[in-house]
Each structure stands twice: as C-alpha cells, then as structure tokens.
Chains A and B, each alone.
Chain A
Amino acid sequence: MGLIFKFVLKNISEKKSRTLLIILSILISSGLFFSSNAFAASISKMYDEMLRLSVGTSDIIVKATMKSPSQFFSLRYAQDCSDQTQYVIGTINESADYKPMINEQSVAINLEGITLEDLQTWNPISFSATYHLNSFVGNKIIISQNTASQYGLKAGDTLDLTINSNKQRFLICGIANPVGIFTDESKGLNAIVPKDVLGKLYSEEGKVNCAYVKVKKSADLPQVINSLSQAYNKYDVKEAFSPEQIASLTNQIITPFKLVVAIVTFMCMFIIYSSFKVIIAERLPVIGTLRSVGATRRTTNFILLLESALYGAIGGLLGCGVGIGLLYLMSSAISSGFAQGAGVSVQVNPLLLLSTLIFAFILCLFSSLLPIIQVLRIPVKDIVLNSVEKVKDKKLINVVLGLFFLTTSIVVPKFAFGKMAIVADTACLVISIAGIFLLVPYLISWFIKLTEGIYTLVFGNIGTLALKNLRDNKSMMTSLSLLIIGGASLLMVNTFCSSLTKQLMSIYVDYQKFDVLIEKMDNNVDKNLEHLLYSIDGVTGVYRYFEKDDIKITNKNGSIATIAGIDITKHLDYMRIDSNMNLTDELKQLESERSILLTYTLRDKFNLKIGDVLNLKMSEDKGPIPYTVIGFYNTAESFGDMALVSEKYFQEDTGGQYNARILVKTSKNPRDVENAIKNDYGQYHFSIETRQEEQAGILHQINPILSLLMGFLVLAMFIGLIGIFNNFIIGFISRRRSLGILRSVGMNKLQMMKMILIESATVGILGGITGVLAGILLANNMTYILQAISMRIVMQYSLSYMAASIIVSFAVAVIASVCPALKASQNSIIQSIKFE
C-alpha cells in the first residue's frame, strides 16, 4: 500500500504543469461551487437583515388601511394571543417637520413613537452619545449620527419639530449608531420619541398606529395571523416578510451564478477528462508491467483512482479556501448594491465545506472514470505488449446522440411549464454542451470536406495538409471543444448582462411615459396628493394607480410578483404595454368584470390560455377571488412577472392593503418639479424620484452583481485558457514524430510554421464561430431557465461582440501555437522521428 501511494505521489509530482492544471480546474470549480451556494445563503441572510431593518425581529405587522375606521387602534385584542406570542409591541409612526434654520427648507423626519424598552426588544439600537437617557419620557428624542452630523447636533441640544401642526421642543438624549432603523437613511431621516408624547399630540393616548408581533413558535404563525386578522378585521394584518419573498429575491440573483458554475464545472470536467486520457496513455506501459508481474486489475484501477482522488482532495481543500475568499468579495459587492445597508453577511457553513470537498472528489473521480473504464476494456496482453490501438473509430451513435441532445435542448424548453420547467431547462442547457462536445469530431470532418478545395486554393498544398492534420487530432479536438465552450459561456453571460441592463434601462426609456414617481406614501395621503400635485408649477399630468406584491394563485400553486390596479382611461398614457393582441376591448373588459391581463411570462409559467380562471388571494382577510384571463401583454417591469386588473376590483378585493404609486408628467426639468413637490408637500411621508434618479439607482444595484458574474466567468476563462495552452503544448509533443517525418520527406521550417499556424488559425476560427452559435443556444436556454424563476429577459445579441469573440478565439489559438510551433521547427529531425 505504501509503495502504491509513493508511486502515485511520484506520478503527481513528476508532471508539474499537468498537476497544476488539474488542481486548478478542481480548485476553481469547487471554489465557485462553494461560493455560489454560500452566496445564496448569504444573500438570503442579507435580504433578511435588510428587510428586518424596518420590521425588527417581528413576524407580523398590523397597520391601518384606507378602510380602517381610524388610523389608531388599541393593542388589547392582540393580547388575546399572548400565549402564542413572544411580544406585541405598539408604535406610533408619524412624520415631523424640522427647520434647521429660519428661511431654510424644512426637512421631514420619520418619528417612531416607542418606549425604549420596547425598542430594544423589537429593533435594538446602540448609542454613540447619550444625555439623561435613563428616563426616556417627555419631550426627549433619539436621533441618528447622520442627522447629528448633518445639522451639527449633539446630545443635550434641543430640536424644534412641527408635529401635527404643533411646534414642540425636544431634548436630544441619544445619538444612535447606524444600526436598526438608523442603518439606512438614504430615503429619509429617522428619529425616536416616547410613544406617549406622540399619543398626546394626536389625542390618541394608549393607542398605536402600528403593531409588531413576534410569535413564540414559527409553526404558530399562520394561526396567529388568522386570529389577529379576525380581531383587527378592518386593518392590514400581514407577515413582516415571507420566506418565499426572500427565496424569490435570492433566486433571481443566484440563478445566473449557478448556471455559470454549471458551465465552468462542465469545462473543468472536460479538462480533467482530457488530462486523464494523457495520464492513462502514459501509465499504460507501467500498468502492463504491473499486470505482467501479477498485479490484479483491481490494483491497477486503484492506482488510477487513487491519483484521481488525491487531485480531488488537494483541489477540494484549496477550493474551499478560494471559495471563502470569493464569498467575501461577492458579499461586499452585493452589500453595496441590492442589499444596501444590510452589511456584509458571510455564511460559512461547515456542512457546505464538506459538500464542497465531496463535490471536488466526485468531480475528479467522475471525470477520470471514463478513461479508466476504457483501460479496463483493454486485454492484458495488449497492455503488456503496449500494442493498444490508440485511435477509436468514430461511432455513428455519437453523432446521433449529439444531434439528439442539441435538438432536445432547443425543443424541450418551449414545452416545459410549471415547476418542472427549471429542472428541464437546466438539464437542456447541460445536454446542449454535451451535444456540442459529441459533435466536435464530426464538425471537423465536415469542415475538412467542405473547405478542402478552398484551403488548397488559398494556402496551397500546405493548407490542405494543415486541414488533414486536424482529422482525428485529439489535442486539436480538445482545444476546439474548450474554445467553443469558453466562447459560448462568454457570449451567454455577456449577452445576459448586457440584455439585463438594456432591459432594465428600457423600462425608463421605452415603457415609462412619465417623469417623476411618488411611492411609499403614508395611509390616505395618495388620494389628496394626486389632486394637490396639479398646483405645482410644471406638473402637466398626474396618474395614481395601485400595486400589490406576491399575490398567491390558489388554483395554480404559485404567485404573481406584482398585480397593478389600473385606471384604464389613463394607464396607457403613462405606461407602455406591448401585445400581439389589440387590447382596446380587453382593457374595457377589465372594468366590466373581474378579469385580468397577464404577461406572456406568466402565460408560459402557468401554461395559461384566454378564458382560464385564476383564483387570486388578494387580501389576507378574504378568500381567493376568481379572475378570468382575457389577454396577454409584454412588459419589462418586474421582469415580466406582472398582471393588470381594473382599479375598481383591485380596491374592492385587496381591502385597502396595497401600495399606491403616483406618476407625474412634467413640462419643466423633472428635478425642479421633484424639489418643488418635496418643498410644498414634504410634510407628507413619501418617496420621490425622477426617472433618471431611479435609473441610476437600478444601475448602482445591478452593476456589482453583473461584475461578479463576469468575474466568475473570467476565472473560468482563465482555467480554460490554461487548458487550451496546455493542450496545444501536449498536442505538439504528441505530434513531434509526425512533424519529424514531414521534415524528413522534405518539409522546410517555413512550411512547417505555415502549416501549424494554418491549423491553429482554423481551430481558432472554427472554435469562435461554433462558440458563437453554441453561445446563442446557451443564452436561449438561459432565457427559459430565467423565465422559470419569473425573470423574463429578452436576449439581445450583439454582432460586434460575436465578431470580437471569433477574433479572440482566433488570437488565442494562434498565440497558443506560436511557441510550440517555433520549438517544433527547431527540433532535430532525427530526434523527432525517433520520439515515441
């Protein structure tokens, strides 16, 4: 055993560059495997933390709606569930005006009225400075570090606020660190005052306008929501945020990464597989010797498998380290984008580390298994005499299988619906790559047959020879496969990134016909504001519509990301919708009955047709309501996971539990209008952005993700490039004798260089063109996979990128062959023809 181990270790250490290549392949694929999986957990955690910034540790929120008899309510009904709840904390959430200086514009501050004890239970904060904080009663206020530094305030100072038309002076008793509700103040300043003070000012002492509930056991959550919904039937009782919401957000980010990991893994498997073929070819004489002295087949297989396992172990261990590093990089990038304010949350799960090691083992063993099995089939006599037939005949089954895989990967996604769609579409993506690999030898054969005449005409006989040298040339086939898969992955990810950016930007350029968006308004503000806005100079049009997220379809076991309740007379003036149908009648029908217009994405996701009925759970306190599907349309909003119903039925069925959005058209600079609205109506709580600001915000969010995705791919390309270079070198070493023979029968050095360069240029161009075609196929598959997770991305292929891809492939192949070609031309003819 010790001897075998020593033998294997010696084999590994002898061929340093090949060992490096195999270990790098395992390291990168296992590193990406770890980081993408851990990233999913980290994103989920970050989203959880981000969403918890405003809801604290609570599980349920109770709030007033437009239909509530009063904005304020008592907590006593909630106490009925006390045996199932850990806490029920009431707060009064109102806004105040703060005028830092006379003649200066006032600033809206969001006031959270809560006791200090409740605050530290619900959404704990810490302080950088305090002043008589021990008794948080009376006109005391806690402000953020941000507010303090912005207005030169410190603990012990006073702050004059206008609340509900009352001027009040508050003593700053605490400057809070940027945690909890103070973490992200990009959309407005926050402050905390005692609940009783706000209760008095609104003459609602003992009552609250928001309640946060935490259950003792998460299993009790539905029951508690149900009890509270009955107790507060005129109020909005909802889960603080649902795990499905986080899963959906996480999936949209992580799926492209997982696809890249799948492709990288496939590429690495191919590199390991081709390296092992060389290893086994080299080991055959030794295996023969071992067999001849009595070693069993099991022993020789064990030697090969042990070598594979050692590569897996080393690569896997290093991959875990690289994966952790990548995870930190990815988490920092995401926290500056999507999950802004949540901070870096790195989840290094020991179980995942173990899974990564197992993944590395399996990857290496699986990739090396085929060459090992091929050795098993060789008769002992042939191994001993080293008389193994080295070239296998091309099998018809491969071409049939390759074409079948390609056809399946094109056809199946068109018919895959529902929950199985993601599995089927991902499988199709993988088999499309397998199909391409199977067809590569035939591709070369077909190419040679088609272009032989042209090559002879253009390059003379040397061109013909170069072309013929590609026939059955395994190292060239491997290089070609790597160029194809590399080019295809680059094209796929690049097309995805640019299409996603273009699509998101097209929302602002092509779909939105307004200039300023107002949302996140306080209850009942929207209706008043809609009318008040006309008084602002430069406002030429105002349209208010409603949205509700995550609507469950009870008869389809799924949900719609966003349903909008629209005013059919105004909606098309403010938002563009595309459809193959003329939707005039359908829009009218929305008004006359409970009907719904769905996007094509949702049609495909749920396999729907006109006339189908969807039972929609529009509100927590009402059962599912049937809506008839009357048409389909396209939109870039919500990645196409959206539907339209009429405002009338929307309001009735949601029971006032929705978000209002006000779209404003302007005749003046939208920025000036935005400032004027803030100035005149800043006392109302809302979020306002011009389209340009929103566009910039979106870019800020997605750019880090797209950069990371490209980073993933760059790593993959790095290993692919090493694989290609290594392959070219191996190819020239294995062809040394053939090249010597050509020299011996009269080929001069120049002719040899020319032949090699024509060969590699052909492989480069062939790889580039096929890579582009394969890239289109992969991108097409990716579209279906994304669609299955409710992301409709219309892939937009760039001709210039395709041309660049072919040029890069050509350059890589030529550069990779220059050094070996120069070396080959310098080799002694005698040494070369004697080379085995």
Chain B
Amino acid sequence: MNQVIVTQNLFKAYTMGTLNVEILKDINISINKGEFVSIMGPSGSGKSTLLYLLGGLDRPTSGSIKINDKELSSMSDKAESAMRRRDLGFVFQFYNLVPNLSVEENVLLPILLDGKKAKKYHERLNELLELIGLADRKNHTPRELSGGQQQRVAIARALINDPEIILADEPIGNLDSKTGIEVMKLLKRINLEKSKTIIQVTHSSESAEYGNRTINLLDGRVCQQSNEE
C-alpha cells in the first residue's frame, strides 16, 4: 500500500508562561492512500494539534512529517502553502468559510490562490455543488446558510482542487445529529467513490465508525490503533 503520510518521532511543545507543555510525544504513524482514519482521544490529548501538524498549519518542535514522501519541515512557506492548496483539503469544526465571499467563491478559493482560471473549474464546481446538494445556493454567502450547509460548502472547498488527502477537524462537532450523519455519509461517499484519504479528528465513536481505522491518543501519545474493518 502507498503511504501518503508518515510521521517519525513527532514532538510538539508549547511554552505557556514559564511552563513548557508537551502536547505531542513521539508520534509515529503512517496513513495509507484511500484510508479513512479517525483520530480519537479525550480533550487535551493532542488530536487536533496532530491534525494541524499533518496539514502544515503548524510546525512540530521536532520529528518528521512526510506527505507523499516530501518532508514538511524543509518546505518553504510558498511550497507548504502550495501543498495545502493542491494535495490537502481541510474541513474544520467551525466551517471556516470566508464570510464576505459567496458559496461559489469560497469553494473556488484554492483554485484562485493557485493562480488558475476559475472559469475552467466551473464544471467541477457544479459537480461538487450537486454532490453536496447546494447547486441552487452558490451565490449565497455563508451567513445565509445553516451550519450543515456551511460544512458541506467546506467539504466542496476541500475537494475542488482534487487533493489526495482530506483533513477534517471535528467535522460534525458543531452540527445536530441528523445533519452530522448526512455530513459523515458524504465524507464516506467521497472516500469510497473518489478514493480520497480522509483523516478526521473526532470525539464521537459513531462518527469514527465511518472510518476504517482509529488512532487513539492519550496525553500526547498514541495509545492504541485499531482497524474497524
């Protein structure tokens, strides 16, 4: 199997006042192409921090992260940003859409930032909007959408550049249970139909069930890895 993400001896510490707090300690994991991995653990276990490190949103204190065999820590800001646009797609708990841009513009953001012509992506945009069921809301702004709809826009944004990996931080943490199930089903469909690697951070075991592997963190260490299938 192709390993799309590999971490080695990953440490992350923050300085809080005079205290040095270790959030992640010696994390060694690998994620294969097409996997749907759920990272679980109690609050403060470091699961979101791990996801951010994997997505290049934060830098590790020490250790290595390789995305498709490319070492993240040696990348320039330009290369790292390009990787976030092309190889990764993010879905956040609070959707993180740009409020003054329309649904269409939010979805096209990675394309625009990549310097590509938005017109060339209209077909893909419509396809994604159909997929998330918001084809008729593309000119609306995030303020005019419900939480579930906003999360689906975030998913479409994560997919627009056809990245290999989707990183989702508590994707249903802010949604009601019915909408949460819809969003999880959508992610699962994307995982299966489009062969995307999905890594989600979640508190919920129901949500983790949509994945095929679970990594459990406790106090910054991997305490258990289990294969659901």
Interface residues of A (CB under 8 A from B): 389, 391, 460-462, 464-465, 468-469, 471-473, 737-738, 740-751, 828-830, 833
Contact = CB atoms under 8 A, between A and B. Distances in A.
- Closest 5 pairs (CB-CB, A-B): A746-B85, A748-B81, A461-B112, A746-B84, A741-B96
Interface string B102-135: 0001000111111110100000000000000000
Interface of B: 52, 55, 57-58, 77-78, 80-86, 90, 92, 96-101, 105, 109-116, 118, 143, 157
B77 A749 contact: yes
Nearest to B157: A745
Contacts of A462: 112-113
A754 B55 CA distance: 24
A461 B111 CA distance: 9
Given A471-B100, A738-B99, A745 B78 contact: no
B78 A742 contact: no
B8 to A, nearest CB: 22
A829 B77 CA distance: 12
A741 B97 contact: yes
B98 A741 contact: yes
Contacts of A743: 57, 81
Contacts of B84: 744-746
Nearest to B117: A461
B50 to A, nearest CB: 12
A833 B92 contact: yes
A746 B96 contact: no
A747 B52 contact: no
A748 B82 contact: yes
A747 B81 CA distance: 6
Contacts of A738: 98-100
Contacts of B81: 743, 746-749, 751
A745 B58 contact: no
A472 B100 contact: yes
Name the residue among B82, B111, B113 with the largest chain A CB count within 10 angstroms: B113
A460 B117 CA distance: 9
The dominant DSSP class at the A interface is helix
Name the residue among B58, B85, B109 with the largest chain A CB count within 10 angstroms: B109
B113 A745 contact: yes
Contacts of A748: 77-78, 80-82
Nearest to A461: B112
A741 to B, nearest CB: 5
A441 to B, nearest CB: 12
A830 B59 CA distance: 11
Nearest to B53: A830
Nearest to A472: B100
Contacts of A751: 81, 113
Given A461-B118, A744-B84, A748-B82, A830 B58 contact: yes
B57 A461 contact: no
Given A471-B100, A744-B96, A750 B52 contact: no
A623 to B, nearest CB: 73
Contact of A742 (B77, B92, B109): B109
Name the residue among A465, A745, A829 with the largest chain B CB count within 10 angstroms: A745
Contacts of A473: 100
A474 to B, nearest CB: 10
8 contacts: A460-B115, A461-B111, A461-B112, A743-B57, A744-B96, A747-B81, A829-B52, A829-B58
Contacts of A829: 52, 57-58
Name the residue among B55, B77, B86 with the largest chain A CB count within 10 angstroms: B77
Contacts of A389: 143
Contacts of B113: 461-462, 465, 742, 745-747, 751
B227 to A, nearest CB: 30
Given A461-B116, A745-B113, A746-B114, 4 more contacts: A743-B57, A748-B82, A749-B77, A751-B81
A746 B110 contact: yes
Contacts of B115: 460-461
A465 B57 CA distance: 21
B58 A828 contact: yes
Contact of A830 (B52, B109, B112, B118): B52
Contacts of A744: 55, 57, 84, 90, 92, 96
A738 B99 CA distance: 8
A745 B100 contact: no
Contacts of B86: 746
Given A751-B113, A833-B96, A745 B90 contact: yes
Contacts of B90: 744-745
B78 A750 contact: yes
Nearest to A750: B78
Contacts of A471: 100
Contacts of B85: 745-746
Name the residue among A389, A464, A741 with the largest chain B CB count within 10 angstroms: A741
A56 B77 CA distance: 82
B140 to A, nearest CB: 13
Contacts of B98: 738, 741-742
Contact of B101 (A460, A468, A828): A468
Contacts of B92: 744, 833
A468 B105 contact: yes
A747 B80 CA distance: 10
A473 B98 CA distance: 12
Name the residue among B58, B82, B101, B143 with the largest chain A CB count within 10 angstroms: B101
Contacts of A472: 100
A738 B94 CA distance: 12
Nearest to B96: A741
A834 to B, nearest CB: 9
Contacts of A750: 77-78
A737 B98 CA distance: 9
A100 to B, nearest CB: 83
Name the residue among B78, B84, B143 with the largest chain A CB count within 10 angstroms: B84
Contacts of A749: 77, 81
A744 B92 CA distance: 10
A744 B157 CA distance: 12
A468 B108 CA distance: 13
Given A738-B98, A738-B99, A833-B96, A745 B77 contact: no
A745 to B, nearest CB: 5
Contacts of A747: 81, 113
Nearest to B48: A830
A477 to B, nearest CB: 12
Nearest to B118: A461
Contacts of A468: 100-101, 105
Contacts of B57: 743-744, 829-830
A829 B52 CA distance: 9
Contacts of A830: 52, 57-58
A737 B142 CA distance: 15
Contacts of B80: 748
Name the residue among A461, A464, A472, A830 with the largest chain B CB count within 10 angstroms: A461
Contacts of B114: 461, 746
Contacts of A391: 99, 143
Nearest to B112: A461
Contacts of B52: 829-830
B55 to A, nearest CB: 8
Contacts of A464: 112
A751 B84 CA distance: 14
A264 to B, nearest CB: 32
A469 to B, nearest CB: 7
A297 to B, nearest CB: 26
Contacts of B105: 468
Contacts of A746: 81-86, 109-110, 113-114
Nearest to B87: A746
Contacts of B118: 461
Nearest to B78: A748
A465 B97 contact: no
Contacts of B111: 461
Contacts of B77: 748-750
B179 to A, nearest CB: 18
